[in-house]
């Protein structure tokens, strides 16, 4: 499913807004992430991984919520 959505976005230029609790998939497939939790983050995948929420995810403490 994610591959199909990614193909539509990249090859057809279709904008996709997806809401998910699966942070791992969001980091894998999204170009931008909006993370709403104790604080709010919006930015690119790379910026997310440098944010406090992204560092928790990378440390294994922020998997699927």
> Based on the number of CB atoms within 10 Å of its own CB, is 46 exposed (0-12), middle (13-18) or buried (19 or more)?
exposed
Instruction: Name the pTM for this structure.
Output: 0.73
For residues 26 and 12, give the distance between their C-alpha atoms in angstroms, rounded to a whole number: 20
3-16 tens-digit pLDDT: 888 888 889 999 98
pLDDT at 61: 66
User: Which helix (H) or strand (E) covers residue 29, if one does?
Assistant: helix 23-29
Given the structure tokens 């931008």, which residue do they identify?
A: 32
Question: Would you state the structure tokens that stand for residue 50, as one six-digit string?
Answer: 């440098």
pLDDT at 51: 93
24-52 tens-digit pLDDT: 888 888 889 999 988 899 999 999 999 99
pLDDT at 25: 87
pLDDT at 35: 92
């Amino acid at each position: 499913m994610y591959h199909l959505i990614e193909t539509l976005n990249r090859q057809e230029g279709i904008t996709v807004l997806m809401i998910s609790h699966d942070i791992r998939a969001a980091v894998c497939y999204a170009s931008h992430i909006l993370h709403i939790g104790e604080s709010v983050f919006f930015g690119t995948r790379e910026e997310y991984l440098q944010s406090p929420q992204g560092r928790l995810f990378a440390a294994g403490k922020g998997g699927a919520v």
